[in-house]
A and B are shown apart, each in its own frame.
Chain A
Amino acid sequence: MHSSDNVTARARLGRLMNALLRRVLLSDSFVLFLAVAYFLVLWVFVPRLGSARNLSNLSSNIWPLFVLVIGQMFVLIIGGIDLSQTSIMAIASVCGALLMTSGLDPALFARNPLWGVLISEQGGPLAGSVAAVPIGILAMLAIGALIGLANGVAVAKCRMPPFMVTLVSMFFFSGLAIFITRSENVTNLPAGFLAIGQSYIGHVPAGRSSVGLMPYSFFAGVALASIAWFVLGRTIAGRWFYAVGMNRRAAAVSGVPTDRVIVFAYTISGFCAALGSVLYSSRLGAGRPTLGANVLLDVIGAAVIGGISLYGGKGKVRWAFYGVLFFVVLDSSLYMLNLRFYTVNIVKGVVILMAALLDVLRNRARMDRTPTASMELA
């Protein structure tokens, strides 16, 4: 009697665990759970992972990447891809820096094509001006949006494949960024600009010094995420993004201005890339012609891990955030493990592969719940 009770209790517990596992696996926040679980497990082995300093570091790594992924998400939702984000970052970075810098080394820049025209030993056109920082940032954002607009027009109006279009602009603008700086970093940026990426709000003591809690980039990220959430979830344009991504022809037949929607998506992506450029450049303290050279795969990887489909029509701001969180936590933990560069890449690849496998499992579990098209139901 007693033992059979025990058996049923165990069976019930098993069923409960099973149901819980399914819930977690099918949950919208699955990637978040995954990131948290990964963090907790690694924390046991590497206590430093949970230190105030590292958390502060994580927080300042998350937001610039998040900004880029949000932009990429818009393009992925309409069924495109934007490879040019990194070169937009580079060109915006050097252009903004050349405008704002207050001093250039003639030894490095004298052979620059712009020397004597726009820039001199005293820096760029906005050097020393009070308005240098706001105008510089606006110029950077405008450059990003314009390049995105050009990408969008080429894709929508000229019907060119997005991969080709953005690949070409990736090459072109990263080349241009190197050309106009002769491959030199542009330094001596205004203190106000540097504060964006290097200052924190709220400090906690850590050892002898203290570390910041929330970098300014946090606010940029949250503001952008809120706007993106609003646009995708609450506006007509948001519905159109998804519709175009799911079936461009059907959307066009239904009266959706598909060309405008596509151009808009690429413009947003360009804008977000430039905003990311502001955050990265200020943290770096320089305009760098190769800024973002290694970020592209992080952006697309984070988006895909978050669950944003490369085939279009699927994506949420939350998912983008979870993907970024997972990626940044992964990166930071591997760095903490003191692995060598190539080992980091190997481990990163394996972890991403596991995440992708889990995603397949999730989709299969979801399929089991909803009938597929081939099954005809009354």
Chain B
Amino acid sequence: MSEPVLLFEHISKSFFGARALHDVTLAVQPGCVVGLIGENGAGKSTLMNIFGGVLQPDEGRMCLRGRPYRPAGPADATAAGIAFIHQELNLFGNLSIADNLFIDGFPRIGRTPLIHRRQAMQRAEEALAAVDLNVSPKTRIDRLTPGHKQLVEIAKALHRGARIIIFDEPTTSLTSRETHRLFSLIERLRRDGCTILYISHALADVLQLADEIVVLRDGQVVQTGPKEQFDIDTMIGAMVGRRIDQLYPTRRNAPGDRVLMSVCRVTEPGVVKDISFDLHAGEVLGLFGLMGSGRTEVARILFGLDCFQSGTITTGGPSRRRRSVRASVDGGMAFVTEDRREEGLLMEASVTDNMALVALPRYRRRRLLGTFNQRALRRTVDEMVGTLKVKCVDPRTDAVKNLSGGNQQKAVIGKWLLAEPVIGIMDEPTRGIDIAAKYEVYSIINDLADRGAGVLCISSELEELTGICDSLLVMSRGRICGRFRRSEFDEERILAAAFEGHIEHETRNESGAPN
């Protein structure tokens, strides 16, 4: 074996007595893709933050290419040829690709402070070519798809001479085609001798990409080895510390006949077309589709966040053309957004305040004064925190921004459960959360349906939908193009339906050319 390019030796780190990393020792071979897996809070981010110079270890040391490596800050890491591709990309949306690439050092005309524009464009084009991205460097970042933004980020890293690249959940917002493209790029980077650290909850991806897999649990390395030693089950077992026999809770009750929400021919030009379906009491209805298929847009229209041009949505009462969020909430509808940070939570506020927000008017005490029963509300919130096992020190003072992704998601869901919803719309309810938390979210959905509510669950993970849903709608290019009952679930047919519109579209585009 050659000398490791990167060596962690006995790294430990604690925050206020809470142990985040304990005696982590790890060697990474050059030109190797290392998959780093573990539940939220297992210490992956802490380890990477120490590596990237964001945090200092309490104990232990690191070696880079055989030499001691002690970064004082992120700049040292960059200088050492280390690049981070974060979950949330660090690009300036209002600037062009070229501006973003050179933000910390434009090519200049001689020694003047003037930007050498021609050279900048040329070098930017080269950088983009290195990642096979065929767009003009003048394009503004916010016009790009998430996948393209990520490629720009990688181009930026390579342009700065990065030889060790860390990917943190890079595929969460990518379409399957973009994911595919990313993987071949990673493959090529490895062949060129780059070392890749790949962090992800998508275990299948890790298994496909990585040469070596490292499992972290509770701040310690619990298992490490070549990928041949792993399969999905052993990975999960190592991460959780016990075998999970069941990834999904069993659906206990069959859906009822009572229609809670009837959607008829809902159309908004350019967004969705002819959406019709019924949601029954006690039903978990899945809505599957690729990114951009219109699945999130349907959810937003149903909840009253976006408007639609024609069609009707009936929920118990009379059908209304103009829907408002307030009316939806009052009518017992819940909406778990896919965007926790922007739409789901008040990040600075406490867990309690967040969870109390929706149910607040239900605890009104005096109409005229507008007061509410603070004690009763607190008590129910505390109960909900206990029921959902939201992990925090003190829900009344802990800001939700300090919680892990899974616990944040539980706070969002808890906030809606407190309003005792009749219809639950869940948009990517398990995005970015770990397996144990996922199971808990599935159980919550299950319980909600058992209590007679109807749940519309949107996801880009087909497996989870087939695991928890009674029936499934498949969307493609703004239309529903497949309906499946539980007995008819078949991954291939569902995927075929989801890709249907795309295939049609492409054949039409290519119809002019032969073959």
The chain A residues found within 8 Å of chain B, CB to CB, are: 231, 234-237, 239-240, 242-243, 246-247, 249-257, 313-314, 369-378
Contacts and interface: CB of A to CB of B under 8 A. Distances in A.
B16 A371 contact: yes
B346 to A, nearest CB: 4
A369 B399 CA distance: 13
28 contacts: A236-B361, A237-B370, A246-B346, A246-B347, A253-B335, A253-B337, A254-B329, A254-B357, A255-B329, A255-B330, A255-B361, A256-B357, A257-B326, A313-B348, A313-B349, A370-B399, A371-B16, A371-B402, A373-B347, A375-B46, A376-B43, A376-B44, A376-B404, A377-B20, A377-B41, A378-B18, A378-B42, A378-B218
B275 interface: no
Contacts of A370: 399, 402
Given A255-B329, A376-B43, 18 more contacts: A235-B369, A235-B372, A236-B364, A239-B357, A240-B360, A242-B353, A243-B357, A247-B343, A247-B346, A251-B357, A253-B305, A253-B325, A255-B326, A373-B402, A375-B20, A375-B49, A375-B55, A377-B402
B194 interface: no
How would you classify the secondary structure of chain B's contact residues: helix, strand, loop or mixed?
A: mixed
Contacts, number: 109
A253 B15 contact: no
Find the residue from A234, A240, A249, A377 having the highest chain B CB count within 10 A: A377
Interface in B194-244: 218
A235 B46 contact: no
Contacts of B347: 246-247, 373
Top-3 shortest CB links A-B: A255-B329, A378-B41, A246-B346
B401 interface: yes
A153 B337 CA distance: 28
Contacts of B218: 378
A236 B372 contact: yes
B328 to A, nearest CB: 8
Interface string B5-46: 000000000011010100000000000000000001111111
Nearest to B40: A376
A234 B371 contact: yes
Interface in B345-381: 345-349, 353, 356-358, 360-361, 364, 369-372, 374
B3 to A, nearest CB: 31
Contacts of A253: 303, 305, 325, 335, 337, 343-344
B504 interface: no
A234 B373 CA distance: 9
B342 interface: yes
Contacts of B399: 370
Interface string B380-399: 00000000000100000001
B345 A247 contact: yes
A240 B346 CA distance: 11
B342 to A, nearest CB: 6
B54 interface: yes
Given A253-B325, A255-B326, A257-B326, A374 B49 contact: yes
Contact of A249 (B326, B343, B357, B360): B343
Contacts of A247: 342-343, 345-347
Interface in B313-337: 325-326, 328-330, 335, 337
Interface residues of B, number: 50
Given A234-B374, A251-B357, A246 B364 contact: no
A378 B326 contact: no
Contact of B349 (A243, A369, A377): A243
Contact of B41 (A231, A255, A376): A376
Contacts of B305: 253
B267 to A, nearest CB: 23
B326 A250 contact: no
Contact of B54 (A240, A250, A374): A374
Given A374-B54, A377-B15, A236 B360 contact: yes
B358 A255 contact: yes
B438 interface: no
Contact of A371 (B15, B349, B357, B371): B15
Find the residue from B42, B330, B364, B370 having the highest chain A CB count within 10 A: B370
A254 B415 contact: yes
Contact of B325 (A231, A236, A252, A378): A252
A257 B361 CA distance: 11
Nearest to B329: A255
A313 to B, nearest CB: 6
Given A235-B372, A253-B335, A375 B325 contact: no
A170 to B, nearest CB: 29
A237 B367 CA distance: 11
B53 to A, nearest CB: 12
A281 B343 CA distance: 45
A181 B166 CA distance: 69
A374 B329 CA distance: 33
Contacts of B330: 255
B308 to A, nearest CB: 18
A377 B346 CA distance: 19
Nearest to B364: A236
A240 B45 CA distance: 34
B357 A377 contact: no
Contacts of A251: 346, 357
Contacts of B402: 370-373, 377
A252 B329 CA distance: 11
B390 to A, nearest CB: 13
Contacts of B353: 239, 242-243
A369 to B, nearest CB: 8
B352 to A, nearest CB: 11
A369 B401 CA distance: 15
Contacts of A231: 370
Nearest to A314: B348
B144 to A, nearest CB: 22
A377 B40 CA distance: 9
A374 B74 CA distance: 14
A235 B18 contact: no
Nearest to B337: A253
A250 B360 contact: no
A369 B348 CA distance: 15
B364 to A, nearest CB: 6
A249 B401 CA distance: 16
Contacts of B357: 239, 243, 251, 254, 256
Nearest to B360: A236
A235 B369 CA distance: 7
A281 B40 CA distance: 61
B349 A246 contact: yes
A374 B45 contact: yes
A337 to B, nearest CB: 40
Contacts of B43: 376
A246 B372 contact: no
A211 to B, nearest CB: 39
Nearest to A313: B348
B370 A235 contact: yes
A378 B346 contact: no
Contact of A246 (B18, B344, B348): B348
Contacts of A373: 347, 401-402
Find the residue from A252, A314, A369, A371 having the highest chain B CB count within 10 A: A371
Contacts of B360: 236, 239-240
Nearest to A375: B15
Nearest to B333: A255
Contacts of B49: 374-375
A246 B328 CA distance: 22
Contacts of B328: 255
Contact of A236 (B303, B342, B348, B370): B370
